[in-house]
Amino acid sequence: MVVPAGRTAHEILAEGEQYTDHPLNWSGILENREELSHGSDKFLEVKELWKIFGPKAEDLLQSDLKFSSKQEILDQTGCVVGLRNVSFNVRRGEFFMLMGLSGSGKSTCIRCLLRLIEPTAGHVLVNGEDICAFDKATLMSLRRKTFGMVFQHFGLFPHYTVRDNVAYGLKVGGASRVESYEKAQKAIETVGLKGWEDYLPGSLSGGMQQRVGIARALAKDPEILLMDEPFSGLDPLIRREMQDELVELQDKLHKTIIFVTHDLHEALKLGDRIAIMRDGEIIQLGTPEDVVTSPADDYVREFVQDASPAKILTADRIKEEPSLLIYEWQGPHVVRHLLRAARRQNAFVVSKHHTLLGLVTREGIDDLIKQGAASIKEAILADVPKCEPHTIVEDLFPLATSSHFSIAVTDSAGRFLGVIHDRTILDSMISDREETNND
């Protein structure tokens, strides 16, 4: 991309301008993130994407030399391989991470998705439409309305207030002053900057300035957010705070996010799936658990060797089938018999639809029998520790220490899925570390 003198890439992106010889056309639909767990709905697809920098790029693609190493290609042709045959898909509402060291191709890849860098070959499809074949006018519309981008460097105009910085992209996109400010205000409040609307960027902290950048992207209500190492320039504490805030924002907004990072822990914390890149190729793609527990090669293994199991392992991975489960229609005498036979002091209770109702204890059942009760309803303790399948082990520690009961695992509808005992939490961390060391 050639940027005219006196213009920044941030201004160009905000205005939706483009500098390319290739045509473009666009459409897309964003639905609720809940769909992510119900199948493989492909929102964005990247197929066999290549980017080769150099005058002989097209010739290189027609030769067997393209399969040689990056260094060998550079030595023989003077061409630099930015992307090599990259393919992946992103689902609606997914938080997708592109991770790798400097020079791995992750930033080149995210820019090719928006055609800020023109791919040498391959396809980028959104809802089945290849944006690499779209016309110039729709590319401009695409950048203004459909995609939002957040940069590592905030790119704020120092002489504009927070409100004007956030509203800038809307104004140049043709929105009225009133509409621009209304949408900007909503975005400012969404990122927690209410009250700072009239301040200049210079009076804000680094974290607050990055919030302005995020608000500017959100103000357009884009279907897809592209985030290129947005937190890497921040201090560690502020960075963690921004990560936490982004997680909360995603829970509210359900955006499709493609996030570039070189930080493993950031990828493990934020990502639904992670694509690890090296020398322009994706060498492993999977969930955070997949990447940590089954590294594809020594390169990935080095990346993840220091990752804490407590930050990756989830409740779904370590849950167990209970040795005893009580049903709400069973009477006190039956329940007492079952508890004695199983040598259990307590057990979880579920409804006929397998919804978790709580837990009963032998002491509580004995008291009911003495009272002559015919139902166990009054003995059910509803306030029991529980978590969802995606809860990481680190977040189970407070639950485990706050109660002497085991932890119930339930889905979003409250259906009982399994149980986690204190010993299971410790055993899972020990066994995971032993497996890693053995590998």
Does this model's pTM top 0.75? My answer is no
pLDDT tier for residue 241 given thresholds of 50, 70 and 90 = confident
- Contact (Cβ atoms closer than 8 angstroms) between residue 335 and residue 325: no
d(CA 76, CA 345): 73
Close Cβ partners of 240 (under 8 Å, ≥ 6 residues apart):
none
Strand order of the β-sheet with 416-420 is 386-387, 407-410, 416-420
Alpha helices in 285-381 (DSSP H): 288-293, 298-304, 315-318, 332-341, 362-371
pLDDT at 11: 39
Domain ranges of the chain: 9-307, 316-429
pLDDT for the residue numbered 370: 93
Name the pLDDT band for 29 (thresholds 50, 70, 90): very low
Whether residue 17 is predicted with pLDDT greater than 50 in this model: the reply is no
- Fold observed for domain 316-429: CBS-domain (3.10.580)
Task: Report residue 101 as tokens.
Answer: 């060291």
* Collapsed DSSP state (helix, strand, coil) of residue 226: strand
pLDDT computed for residue 429 by the predictor: 58
The label of the residue with tokens 């391959």 reads 122
What local confidence, expressed as pLDDT, does residue 39 receive? 41
Q: By C-alpha distance, which of 347, 384, 387 is closest to 363?
A: 347
pLDDT above 70: percentage of residues in the chain = 86
pLDDT reading at 120 higher than 90: yes
Which residues, 6 or more positions from 39, have their beta carbon under 8 angstroms from its beta carbon? none
Distance (Å, rounded) from C-alpha 166 to C-alpha 172? 12
Q: Find the range with the poorest average confidence among 5-9, 23-27, 214-218, 363-367.
A: 23-27
Instruction: Find the angle CA(138)-CA(141)-CA(145) to the nearest 5 degrees.
Output: 140
**170 vs 15, more confident:** 170
- Cβ–Cβ under 8 Å, residues 124 and 285: no
pLDDT band per the 50, 70, 90 thresholds, residue 159: very high
Q: What is the mean pLDDT of residues 71-76?
A: 90
Rounded Cα–Cα distance for residues 141 and 144 (Å): 5
CATH code of 9-307, in short, is 3.40.50.300
Total residues found in the chain within this entry: 439
Structural tokens at position 407: 């932890």
Region 319-348: what's the mean pLDDT?
92
pLDDT at residue 250 tops 90? no
pLDDT greater than 50 at residue 12: no
The pLDDT value given to residue 430: 55
Residue 348: phi and psi, rounded to 5, are: -75, 150
- Beta carbons within 10 angstroms of residue 172's beta carbon: 15
